[in-house]
Chain A
Amino acid sequence: MLTSTIIEERKVSLVVIPLTIVALAIAPSVVSGSQLITMITVLQFATLTLAWTMFSGPTRYISLATAALFGMGVYTSALLRDSLPIEALVLIGAVAAFVLAFAIGLLTLRLRGVYFILFTFGVTALIRSTVQWWESTVSLTVGRHVEGATNETVYLLMTIIFSLTLVVAFLLRNSKTGIALVAIGENQDAAEHLGINVTRVKVLTFAASAVFMGAAGAVMATRFRYIEPAIAFNPLISFLPVVMAIFGGVSRLWGPILGTAVLIVIQEFLITEYPFWYLLLFGLLLIVTVVWLQGGLVELVERVYWWLKIEWIKMKMRVKMRWREWREA
C-alpha cells in the first residue's frame, strides 16, 4: 500500500522531471554566486548518487568503483584541458569511464555480495596507486593544474549532465531492462532461468551508469583546479554516494536526490558550526537508516504522507457523520 505503481510514478515523473530541469536552468539568475557554488557541489553528488543507483539500486550490487569512474573523467581533463574544448573533454571522459566500467563488469560477472563490493573497492585502490606510481616514476609530475572555467559554465554543464542522468534513470526504470535489473536484484538465478540475459543487462547498465560519472569528473576537474591521484580517485567519492543513496532511499527516483540534498545541507551547516560533529551525525543517520528505515527518506516521507492522508480522510468522515447527525436532529 505504501508503494506506488510504476505507472503512476511514470506519470508524475513526466511532469516533475521537466519542471526540475527548468528550475535548475533558471537558478543562476535567481541565486547568488555563493549559492551557485554550493549547487555545483550538490549537482556533482546528485549525479554520482543517481548514476550509482541506476545499477546498484535495483540489483543490490553495491559498487565502490564510483571514484575510479569519476577519476577517469578528472584525469581526462587534467591531461587534455589545454588542447581540447570542454565539451570534448566531457565526451572523452564519459567514454573512458564507460570502457573501464565495461571491463570491471566483465571481470566481476561471477562475484556476488561482499566479494563484489570488495572487488570494486580494490580495483579503485589499484588504479589510484598505479596512477600515483606512474606519475611519480614515469611522467614525474604528480600534481597537475587544470585551467578553470567560470562558475556559470561549470553549473550549466553539470545541470546538463545531471538532467541527462535523471532522464536516463527514468527511462531505464520504465523499460524492460529496468524490470530485469529488479529481477536480478531479487533473485539472480531465477532471473536467469526466466530468460534474462543477466550478463548483458548487468554489464551494459553498469557501463552506462559510468558514462555520467566520467562526464561529471571531466567537468569538476575545472573546479578542482589542482589534481593528484589522491584527489581524483578520493575514496570518499565512492563512499558518499552510497550513504546518500541509502539514506535517501533507492526505491524511488527522487530518493537519491533527496538524500544528497539533505546530507549536503546538513554537512554545510555542521561544518561551519560544529566541525567535528557532522561525521558523528552522518554515521548515526546511516546506522538508523540501515536498521530501521530501510527505505530511507523515501519511506519516511511516504509513511508520513499516507498517515496524513488517512487522518485527513478520517476527519472528513467524522465531519460528515456529525453533519448528518445534526441534520437528523
Chain B
Amino acid sequence: MTGYSERTTIIDSAADILVTGLILGGLYALIAVGLSLQYGVGRVLNVAHGEFIMVGALATFSLFTVWEVRPVIALGVIAPVLFAIGYGLDWWLFNDLRGSSVNEEHFEGRSLLASFGLVFVMQNMILIYWGGQHRGYTYLNTPVSILGNRYGANRLLALAVAVGVSLALYVFIKRTRLGKAIRAAAESPDMAAALGVNKRRVLATSFGLGAALAGLAGVLYSMMFQLSPSTGIELTIVAIVVVVFGGLGSIGGSLLGGFTLGLVISFVNFIDPSLSIVAFYLIFILVLLFKPSGLFGRELHAD
C-alpha cells in the first residue's frame, strides 16, 4: 500500500532520512534522559516518568494559553517544581524501599511496582485538574530549511536541547563535585557513604533532577503535539525502549541510543510507515535478547 513519488536525487532522500532520523532521535533522547538518570543512579525504573512529562507539557499549555507565558519562561517554574516533587518521592518513598529490600533485584522489582502505582495516582490527578480533553497549542512552528528540505523549528529546538542537555549532564557527572558524588553513590553506595557522601541526599537529588528533565521534555513536547492524559504511558514506553537500547544506566548511551533508534525508525518509515511500530518493538526485544546491556554499555559505572 505504499507509493512515493520520484525523489529528485538519492542524496535528497538520504539527507531527509538522516535529518528526520536525528530530529526524531533527539526527541526520543530528550524523553529518555530523565529516566536514564533515575535508573542509572537510583536503580528506579520509574514507569511514571511519562506522567511527569505530561505534567510538564500540560502545565506549559496552561501557562501559555491562559497567561501567555512563553514556554522558555514556563520551564523556569516547571523544572524546580518537578524537581521538588521528585526529590520528595525519592527521599520518602524509594528510600524506604531501598532500606527494606533484600537485594538490588528485589528493590528494582518493588520500586517498579511502586512507580506503577504512582502512574495511577498521577493520571488521576492530571485527569481531575486538566480533564480528559485533548489540548494543544503550537509554538515555533516555522519551517527551517536544511539540505533542501524543511523542518519545524520547534523540532530542531528539541534536538538541540536534547544534545545540549545530554552533554551538560555528562560534563556535570564527570567534572563537578556533586556529579562525582552521584557517580560514587551509583557505583558503590557503601564506599561513598564511608567517604562522607550523604547517600540519601545524592540519590534524591538525582531522582529530582530526572523529574526536572522530564518536565523539560514535556515543555518541548507540548510545542508539537496534542496533549491528552493518556499519552503518559506511551511516552514512558518510548523512554524505556530508548534507555534499554542505549544501555540501562548510561546517559551517553541514551543519547546515542535515541539517535540510532530515530534513524532506524526514520528509515523504516521511508520503506513502509505502517511497519514502524512493529519495527520499534522488534528492535526492543531483540536488544533484550542479544545485548541486554544495551548498545553502548553502562558508562555511569565505567571509568
Contacts and interface: CB of A to CB of B under 8 A. Distances in A.
Contacts of B100: 291
Given A279-B124, A285-B117, A286-B113, 13 more contacts: A62-B112, A111-B292, A113-B105, A114-B109, A118-B288, A129-B281, A136-B274, A276-B124, A283-B117, A283-B118, A286-B120, A290-B97, A290-B113
Q: How large is the interface on A (under 10, 10 to 19, 20 to 34, 35 or more residues)?
A: 35 or more
Interface string B268-303: 000000110110111011001100100000000000
A53 to B, nearest CB: 14
A280 B288 contact: no
30 contacts: A62-B109, A107-B289, A112-B105, A115-B288, A115-B292, A117-B112, A118-B240, A122-B281, A125-B237, A125-B281, A126-B278, A126-B285, A129-B278, A133-B274, A235-B233, A239-B116, A242-B113, A277-B124, A279-B120, A279-B121, A280-B120, A280-B121, A283-B121, A286-B116, A287-B121, A290-B110, A290-B113, A291-B96, A291-B100, A291-B110
Nearest to B241: A122
A294 B101 CA distance: 10
B117 A123 contact: no
A114 B108 contact: yes
B192 to A, nearest CB: 23
A282 B292 CA distance: 32
B121 A113 contact: no
A291 B93 CA distance: 8
A276 B122 CA distance: 12
Contacts, number: 110
A137 interface: yes
Contacts of A246: 113
Contacts of A123: 281, 285
Contact of B45 (A114, A122, A137, A290): A114
Given A113-B108, A113-B109, A122-B285, A291 B114 contact: yes
A294 B120 CA distance: 19
A111 B97 contact: no
Contact of A126 (B105, B124, B240, B281): B281
A119 interface: yes
Interface residues of B, number: 44
Contacts of A265: none
Nearest to A283: B120
A10 B234 CA distance: 44
A284 interface: yes
A290 B116 CA distance: 10
Nearest to A113: B105
B20 interface: no
B119 interface: yes
A239 B100 CA distance: 24
Nearest to B108: A114
Nearest to B131: A276
A130 interface: yes
B288 A122 contact: yes
Interface in B119-144: 119-125, 127-128
B58 to A, nearest CB: 16
Contacts of A145: none
Contacts of A223: none
Contact of A114 (B93, B112, B118): B112
Nearest to A140: B1
Nearest to A239: B116
Contacts of B108: 113-114
A129 B285 CA distance: 13
Contacts of A242: 113
B274 A118 contact: no
A112 B108 CA distance: 11
A239 B248 CA distance: 23
A41 B280 CA distance: 33
Nearest to B1: A137
A284 to B, nearest CB: 6
A130 B124 CA distance: 31
B186 interface: no
Nearest to B101: A294
A45 B109 CA distance: 22
B285 to A, nearest CB: 4
Contacts of B122: 283
A62 B108 CA distance: 11
B57 interface: no
Contacts of A112: 105
Contacts of B125: 280
A118 B244 contact: yes
Nearest to A136: B274
Nearest to A132: B277
A119 B288 contact: yes
A33 B110 CA distance: 40
Nearest to B233: A235
B108 to A, nearest CB: 5
B120 A282 contact: yes
A78 B45 CA distance: 36
Contacts of B121: 279-280, 283-284, 287
